[in-house]
Amino acid sequence: MHDRIEITRAEDAGAKGFEKVFAFLRARLLAGDLKPGDRLLPERELAVILGVSRPIVREALRALTVLGLVEIKDRVGTVVRRPDVSVLNDFFAFAIAQATDVVDDVMQARIAIECQAIRLAAARATIADFERLGAALARIAPTIHDPEAGARADYDFHRSLVRASGSETLAVLYDAMAEVLMTSHVGRRRTLDAFGEIRTYLIEDHRRLFQAVVERDPERADRLLREHFAIGDEFRRKAAIGEMRPAASA
Amino acid sequence: MHDRIEITRAEDAGAKGFEKVFAFLRARLLAGDLKPGDRLLPERELAVILGVSRPIVREALRALTVLGLVEIKDRVGTVVRRPDVSVLNDFFAFAIAQATDVVDDVMQARIAIECQAIRLAAARATIADFERLGAALARIAPTIHDPEAGARADYDFHRSLVRASGSETLAVLYDAMAEVLMTSHVGRRRTLDAFGEIRTYLIEDHRRLFQAVVERDPERADRLLREHFAIGDEFRRKAAIGEMRPAASA
DNA sequence: GTCCGACCGTGGTCAGACCAATAAGCACGA
DNA sequence: TCGTGCTTATTGGTCTGACCACGGTCGGAC
């Protein structure tokens, strides 16, 4: 059952056309009195009320749609939704398409977020968080020779850390980079699988991180995580310059 | 003089209407062969080529516009632009409009980003960075009784830290929260101005941070910055529960 | 009371028209 | 030949009106 939201007065912002409609709807959404699930007036009504043609209303609604703020349902109407983090995924995808050598830089953001998250997790994690982390940890060893599944397992472990932080903002930012991070995880797992020396690193390091969180030691957790990243970087460096020997056949 | 980009073949994605056009343009942008400044074909041509009506093309272009990916110039055409970080500001503004008590959580992201940034700054800052930081530092004392200007000065100092990190990604994320952070800075400066005990904190703490960066000590810089945030939180807590005395009249 | 058909409402899209404004091209005059 | 003025073409901005698809609701008939 939808609540129909009465939009009764056009705001006079000196704008007209698309800008007027977009600003009007944006203001309503920002005012916070439209809640997810609320349905806006039909396009034809909005057009009359705002004194514009229907295609202009549609342009504005489309714009809000790609921002993840509303959803246009065919033959139903336009429904307010929670801000959709996948918008940010697109943003980063586009930014990266236009840049060079950004992946390493995104790693800085990853480090920033995860190190803060693990501090918070050590302070705030719930039993459910520990269970999630434990389950993710258990998936690391069996996937040691499968870069795709292994990347998934790695990502899940780290994402569980962020979740255990209890910080929605950190989670949003982390999820915004999900695709980039997954690509990075796959690449790293491929590199590590090609060289056999580092299985203990992967399994033991993740276990140590888990332990630090469980033992509620934010400083140690942060430090171990930074070391975890630094060791990963070192392996990558060695692989790049040929200091590592390929694994004997598995 | 614009480069006209020939879009010669519609991708068959099984979609139609808006989705078809949006996906097509999105793919072209993601392919990375459209550069900022490039001009897309006129709307009428795109409509013919893609076999849709012009309002549908417009909807798709509008969508790309609000994502900051292109700019529709009246009577000129649609021009590719660099991804615009202000999109993210809107995202956070909307997210906050729909949530309660998010500002404190955004602070976690701020801490994450700045602490990583100051580590990188201590390692990477250039002379120009030091000059920017120094100039921002010099603006803190004279604005001590002016919450608006003071907030600006505070923000500038911290933004300079992020810039000195040399990490574009950290800068993007930080700028995404610029409006939220400015609001937070204003509020903090107002609170601190109402209570006079903390002028030394503001001026001296920022100076210490600057010093740690100049002396290229990432660990100390990180620690001092965390303490800086913790002290700010403590002042806020005391103000909230009435433990601080209002300042004698200035 | 149940089922079926018709109608209404809503978004999705199309076609065609008009407007505004700038830039480019052409013609004419000095 | 060059400069100026006028006209035309181009492009986005918007409007109007029409049609389509389809789901939901209501009313009527059995």
Measured CA A38 to C1' D25 distance, in angstroms: 21
**Res. B3: pLDDT tops 50:** no
Question: Residue B91: which region, alpha, beta or left (left: phi > 0; alpha: psi -120 to 50)?
Answer: alpha
**Residue B117 near residue B165 (C-beta atoms within 8 A):** yes
The mean pLDDT value for A147-169 works out to: 92
Cβ of A66 and B67 within 8 Å? yes
CA B133 to chain A, closest CA, distance in angstroms equals: 21
Cβ of A67 and B30 within 8 Å? no
**Res. A116: pLDDT tops 90:** yes
Tell me what pLDDT residue A31 has: 78
**Res. B239: pLDDT tops 80:** no
Cβ of A83 and B102 within 8 Å? no
Band of the pLDDT at B98, cuts 50, 70, 90? low
Tell me what pLDDT residue A163 has: 95
Q: What distances in angstroms separate CA A49 from CA A9, A11, A70, B59, one per listed residue?
A: 7, 10, 19, 21
CA A157 to chain B, closest CA, distance in angstroms equals: 19
Nearest to A148 by CA among A185, A194, A112: A185
Tell me what pLDDT residue B97 has: 61
**Res. B10: pLDDT tops 50:** no
**Res. A47: pLDDT tops 60:** yes
Answer whether any strand D atom is within 7 A of the Cβ of A190. no
Chain B residues 169-228 with a CB less than 8 Å from chain A: 169-170, 172-173
The mean pLDDT value for B228-240 works out to: 81
Tell me what pLDDT residue A41 has: 92
**Res. A246: pLDDT tops 70:** no
SS3 assignment, position A79: strand
Nearest to A29 by CA among B180, B66, B94, B96: B94
**Whole-angstrom Cα distance, residue A184 to residue A182?**
5
Measured CA A86 to C1' D9 distance, in angstroms: 43
The mean pLDDT value for A54-60 works out to: 95
Measured CA B46 to C1' D14 distance, in angstroms: 19
Kindly state the DSSP code that residue B144 receives in the 8-state scheme.
Answer: T
Tell me what pLDDT residue A13 has: 44
Question: Which chain A residues touch B69 with a CB distance below 8 Å?
Answer: 94
Band of the pLDDT at B96, cuts 50, 70, 90? low
The mean pLDDT value for A135-163 works out to: 92
Q: Looking at chain B, which residue has its C-alpha nearest residue A63?
A: B63
Q: What distances in angstroms separate CA A244 from CA A115, A196, B130, B190, one per listed residue?
A: 28, 9, 39, 57
Fold of A87-241: Four Helix Bundle (Hemerythrin (Met), subunit A) (1.20.120)
Q: What are the residue ranges spanned by the domains of chain A?
A: 17-80, 87-241
Q: Is any Cβ of chain B less than 8 angstroms from the Cβ of A30?
A: yes
Answer whether any strand D atom is within 7 A of the Cβ of A52. yes
Question: Residue A242: which region, alpha, beta or left (left: phi > 0; alpha: psi -120 to 50)?
Answer: left
Residue ranges of alpha helices (H) inside chain B are 17-30, 43-50, 54-66, 86-97, 103-124, 127-138, 147-164, 168-176, 178-194, 199-214, 218-241
> Domain B17-80, what architecture?
Orthogonal Bundle (1.10)
**Whole-angstrom Cα distance, residue A192 to residue A233?**
11
**Res. A16: pLDDT tops 70:** yes
**Residue B62 near residue A59 (C-beta atoms within 8 A):** yes
Go through chain B and tell me how many residues it has: 250
Answer whether any strand D atom is within 7 A of the Cβ of B4. no
Band of the pLDDT at A121, cuts 50, 70, 90? very high
**C-beta atoms surrounding A11 within 10 Å:** 13
**Whole-angstrom Cα distance, residue B107 to residue B119?**
18
Query: B138, exposed or middle or buried, with CB in 10 Å at 0-12, 13-18, 19+?
Result: exposed
Residue written as tokens 């250039």? Answer: B126
Q: Looking at chain B, which residue has its C-alpha nearest residue A70?
A: B94
